[in-house]
Amino acid sequence: MNSIRFVPSSVHGIFDYIGGIALIACPFIFGFYSMGGIAVILPIVLGAGLILYSLLTDYERGIPRL
């Protein structure tokens, strides 16, 4: 199964955090913040969820186990 991986898990972790930050920033970058509603709320919630999910994942970029 490890031979199928194209991206190492440490690099994938960085991409996860970049993706979460990008989702949170999208409404402000593309000017959706003036529209309000779901166009602003959904990307922010999904970005925060992606960051939280990445923090809780058991790989190099996640938080250590307690």
Q: What is the DSSP letter of 11?
A: H
Res. 3 pLDDT band, cuts 50 70 90: low
For residue 34, the model assigns a pLDDT of 84
DSSP labels for 12-66?
Answer: HHHHHHHHHHHHHHHHHHTTGGGT-THHHHHHHHHHHHHHHHHHHSSSTTSPPP-
Average pLDDT over residues 14-41: 92
Output the pTM of the full model: 0.82
User: Is pLDDT above 60 for 6?
Assistant: yes
